[in-house]
């Protein structure tokens, strides 16, 4: 789409003009991505990972959108995230806390119907004590470590756990789960190793169903799905598998406004530390976003933005609130105060920007700041 048309559409959607940047979040695309993932894991169900404010895009709005799309299982990382989205979901929706509960959160979690993922014997004992205090069984999920060495019951505790569960009448185990460490690499041997370990665990705990696949795991095959998959990045348009065509629909577009343009002579130093020096007369533009807005310093002298399909390289260091770009390839006068350039969009995917920054799409999304005017489509 022509930048002038897009800029007009952006400004038509906002109540007032003058924002330094516009982050457009397509709720329809999120819904269609959820439907695509649900179809891919059927007859299993698809949950939604909405932790970190739905990867920085707004958990309350997105959770409500996914609820309307049929999602009934939502995963967050921390208890505080669960309490934020609980009022926006119907009572039939289940909210799971991946990190489990910190001591002291058990009672409010039980009162709110929030379900912990139990990662240790200590968390299990605290939740059991809470159930006894409420004089009713409380639901929970058990997480096992299948080779990531991060969270979950380790192999050496499984026999003790099995014995304890035989005598535990306080907790209703809804399912067991683990997390794939290398699912974004379909060729990784670790995927098969973790699947084999998960199968051993399922044999040791045959009374419980399995939740296993994350975004990448959805596309590894049905043996990874279990009864419930829990995609995250794929919901938000990120590529679930490296090196393969992204099957997901883009969700975000980021456009940032120009502050100033200028022409500088050969030998001009640009930005902090004079890391970039012009070789010829150069036309520059400074745009109104920087590392405080989630565009990391590592984009300095290597990333780019776009205007009408033309790549405009970042020159000099990314500052806290601004970035300088080389606009010499555009006709003089094309950009001026308030013009919008594309940072994420049809010409530059989230993965392309992340690659230039030397990071991953997850970090880029969750870092996008709140100084942009956020617009939900």
CATH (domain of 343): 2.40.37.10
Q: Note whether residue 244 is domain-resident.
A: no
Q: Note whether residue 214 is domain-resident.
A: yes
Euclidean distance between the first and final Cα of the chain, in Å?
17
Residues 304 and 356 in one domain: yes
Contact 123, 100 (CB under 8 A): yes
Tell me if residue 45 is catalytic: no
Q: Note whether residue 242 is domain-resident.
A: no
Is 364 annotated as belonging to a binding site? no
Tokens matching residue 41: 């894991």
Phi, psi torsion values for 56, nearest 5 degrees: 90, 0
Q: Note whether residue 243 is domain-resident.
A: no
Q: Note whether residue 241 is domain-resident.
A: no
What pLDDT does 10 receive?
A: 57
Final residue of a structural domain among 210, 236, 262: 236
Residues 313 and 328 in one domain: yes
Is 150 annotated as belonging to a binding site? yes
Final residue of a structural domain among 236, 265, 293: 236
Residues 226 and 274 in one domain: no
Residues 283 and 167 in one domain: no
Q: Note whether residue 334 is domain-resident.
A: yes
Residues 188 and 285 in one domain: no
What pLDDT does 3 receive?
A: 57
Residues 230 and 260 in one domain: no
Tell me if residue 51 is catalytic: yes
**Which of 210, 252, 256, 206 lies closest to 361, judged by CA?**
252
pTM of the model: 0.93
Residues 189 and 45 in one domain: yes
Measure the CA–CA gap between 336 and 3, rounded to whole angstroms: 13
How big is the chain by its Cα radius of gyration, in Å?
24
What pLDDT does 8 receive?
A: 56
List 51, 55, 224, 276, catalytic entry: 51
DSSP code string of 89-152: S-TT-EEEETT---TT-HHHHHHHT-EEEE-SHHHHHHHHHHHHHHTS-EEEEEEB-SSSSSSS
CATH (domain of 82): 3.20.20.10
Query: pLDDT tens digits for the chain (377 residues)?
Result: 565 555 555 555 444 578 999 999 999 999 999 999 999 999 999 999 999 999 999 999 999 999 999 999 999 999 999 999 999 998 899 999 999 999 999 999 999 999 999 999 999 999 999 999 999 999 999 999 999 999 999 999 999 999 999 989 999 999 999 999 999 999 999 999 999 999 999 999 999 999 999 999 999 999 999 999 999 999 999 999 998 999 999 999 999 999 999 999 999 999 999 999 999 999 999 999 999 999 999 999 999 999 999 999 999 999 999 999 999 999 999 999 999 999 999 999 999 999 999 999 999 999 999 999 999 99
In sequence order, what are the beta bridge partners of 139?
Answer: 172
Residues 94 and 205 in one domain: yes
Measure the CA–CA gap between 34 and 249, rounded to whole angstroms: 10
Please, which residues have CB within 8 angstroms of residue 257's CB and are 6 or more apart in sequence?
A: 19, 20, 21, 287, 288, 338, 339, 340
Residues 232 and 362 in one domain: no
Residues 291 and 305 in one domain: yes
Q: Note whether residue 122 is domain-resident.
A: yes
Please, which residues have CB within 8 angstroms of residue 10's CB and are 6 or more apart in sequence?
A: 22, 24, 255, 340, 375
Final residue of a structural domain among 173, 204, 236: 236
Instruction: Please give the tally of structural domains in the chain.
Output: 2
What pLDDT does 347 receive?
A: 98
Buried b (16+ CB within 10 A) or exposed e, 186-198: bebeebeebbebb
What pLDDT does 14 receive?
A: 46
Q: Which domain holds residue 15?
A: 3-23+250-376
Q: Note whether residue 228 is domain-resident.
A: yes
Residues 35 and 141 in one domain: yes
Residues 300 and 357 in one domain: yes
Q: What angle do CA 257, 345, 247 make, to 5 degrees?
A: 160
């Amino acid at each position: 789409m022509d930048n002038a048309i897009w800029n007009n559409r952006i400004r038509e959607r906002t109540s007032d003009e003058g924002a330094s940047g516009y982050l457009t979040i397509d709720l329809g695309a999120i819904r269609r991505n959820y439907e695509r993932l649900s179809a891919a894991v059927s007859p299993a169900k698809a949950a939604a990972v909405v932790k970190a404010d739905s990867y920085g895009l707004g958990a309350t709005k997105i959770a409500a959108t996914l609820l309307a799309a049929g999602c009934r299982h939502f995963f967050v990382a921390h208890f505080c995230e669960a309490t934020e989205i609980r009022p926006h979901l119907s009572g039939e929706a289940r909210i799971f806390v991946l990190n489990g509960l910190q001591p002291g959160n058990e009672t409010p979690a039980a009162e709110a119907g929030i379900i912990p993922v139990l990662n240790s014997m200590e968390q299990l004992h605290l939740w059991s004590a809470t159930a006894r205090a409420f004089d009713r069984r409380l639901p929970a999920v058990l997480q096992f470590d299948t080779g990531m060495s991060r969270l979950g019951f380790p192999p050496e505790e499984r026999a003790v756990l099995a014995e304890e569960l035989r005598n535990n009448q306080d907790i209703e185990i809804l399912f067991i789960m683990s997390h794939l460490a290398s699912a974004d690499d379909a060729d990784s041997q670790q995927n098969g190793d973790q699947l084999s370990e998960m199968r051993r665990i399922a044999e040791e705990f045959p009374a419980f169903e399995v939740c296993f696949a994350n975004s990448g795991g959805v596309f590894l095959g049905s043996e990874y799905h279990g009864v419930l998959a829990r995609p995250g990045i794929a919901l938000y348009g990120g590529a679930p598998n490296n090196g393969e065509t992204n099957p997901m629909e883009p969700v975000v577009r980021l456009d940032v406004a120009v502050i100033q343009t200028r022409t500088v002579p050969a030998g001009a130093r640009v930005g902090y530390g004079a890391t970039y020096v012009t070789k010829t007369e150069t036309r520059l533009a400074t745009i109104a976003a920087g590392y405080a807005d989630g565009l990391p310093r590592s984009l300095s002298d290597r990333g780019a933005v776009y205007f009408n399909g033309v790549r405009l390289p970042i020159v000099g260091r990314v500052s806290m609130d601004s970035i300088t770009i080389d606009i010499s390839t555009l006709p003089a006068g094309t950009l001026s105060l308030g013009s919008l350039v594309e940072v994420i969009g049809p010409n530059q995917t989230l993965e392309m920007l992340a690659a230039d920054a030397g990071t991953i799409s997850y970090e880029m999304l969750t870092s996008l700041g709140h100084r942009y005017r956020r617009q939900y489509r």
